[in-house]
Amino acid sequence: EAGVTQFPSHSVIEKGQTVTLRCDPISGHDNLYWYRRVMGKEIKFLLHFVKESKQDESGMPNNRFLAERTGGTYSTLKVQPAELEDSGVYFCASSQVREDNRAEEQYFGPGTRLTVT
Amino acid sequence: AQTVTQSQPEMSVQEAETVTLSCTYDTSESDYYLFWYKQPPSRQMILVIRQEAYKQQNATENRFSVNFQKAAKSFSLKISDSQLGDAAMYFCAYRRFLMEYGNKLVFGAGTILRVKS
C-alpha cells in the first residue's frame, strides 16, 4: 500500500511568488490534514479536510494560504504571495474515519521543505 | 488551549543503553490521547506509541515504553537497548478524545536523539 506522498520535496521561491504544494493521501482515507513546522519550533496544525469539506481551518495563518481538496482525493496548498516567514516544512497526513468517534492513526507524508528568499 | 512541551532539544545515548525523553503537557480535559512520533533523517514521521488517558497502564511497544503520569501531566518515552536506527527527531503529541472536538494533533518542539556506536 502506498503511503502519503507529497510534491515537491523541496521548493525555493522568492518573496512575492506563488507556490503550490500537493499531497496525495493513502487511498480510502477521508481525513486529510496539513501541518507546518517552522525551523526549530513545534509542528503546528493548519487545517483538516473530511473528504472535500474543510472540517477545521483554525490553524491557517492568513488569507495568503488557500487549501483545496477537489473530489476528496489529493489536496493542494497554495501560498500567494509567499513571505519570508512562510519558510518551513509542510507536512500532510491522512487517516481513516472511525465509526466509534475514537482517535485514528494519522499517517504522515515526508513533507515539503519550502524556502522563501 | 492545549500545549505540549519537550524540554530537551537534544539527547545522546550509547548503543544498547537506555534513554528517556521527556514531555509535559497542559490540558483541562480528563480524556485525551498522547502520542510519540519518530522522524528519521529525510524520512517520514511514523507513530511509535500511543496512550489513552483513561488507561492507567503504561503503553509498551517492544523496546519503547512510556511513563504516563496523569496528575503531573507528564508523558516520557523510554527507549531500551538503543539501536543506531533509533536516531531521529522524536515528537510528543496530544489529541483530544472525541472527533467532534477536532482531530488535530498538538505537537511539542521535538527532541533530536543521537545514538553513539
CA distance B116 to chain A (A): 23
pLDDT at B60: 95
Question: What is the residue whose three cell numbers read 545522546?
Answer: B12
pLDDT tens profile A6-51: 999 999 999 999 999 999 999 989 899 999 999 878 899 999 999 9
Residues of chain B where predicted confidence (pLDDT) is lower than 70 = 99-102
Best A4, A47, A48, A106 residue to mutate vs chain B (most B CBs within 10 Å): A106
pLDDT at A103: 63
- Distance (Å) of CA B52 to CA A103, B36, B55, B96: 9, 12, 6, 10
What gap in Å lies between CA B76 and CA B69, rounded to an integer?
9
pLDDT at B21: 98
Can you read off the three cell numbers belonging to residue B103? 482531530
Question: Mean pLDDT in chain B?
Answer: 93
User: Side chain identity at A33, as an amino acid letter?
Assistant: Y
CB contact under 8 A, B91 and A43: yes
Determine contact: B110 vs chain A, CB below 8 A: yes
Can you read off the three cell numbers belonging to residue B24? 509535559
User: Side chain identity at B80, as an amino acid letter?
Assistant: S
Closest C-alpha among B6, B95, B82 to residue A48: B95
Q: Which residue of A33, A98, A102 is in closest CB contact with B104?
A: A33
Chain B, 35 to 94: residues with Cβ < 8 Å from chain A are 37, 42-47, 50, 52, 91
CA distance B14 to chain A (A): 25
Beta bridge partners of A79: A19, A65
Element (H, E) at B66: strand B64-69
CB contact under 8 A, A109 and B108: no
pLDDT tens profile A66-114: 999 988 899 999 999 999 999 999 999 999 877 776 668 899 999 999 9
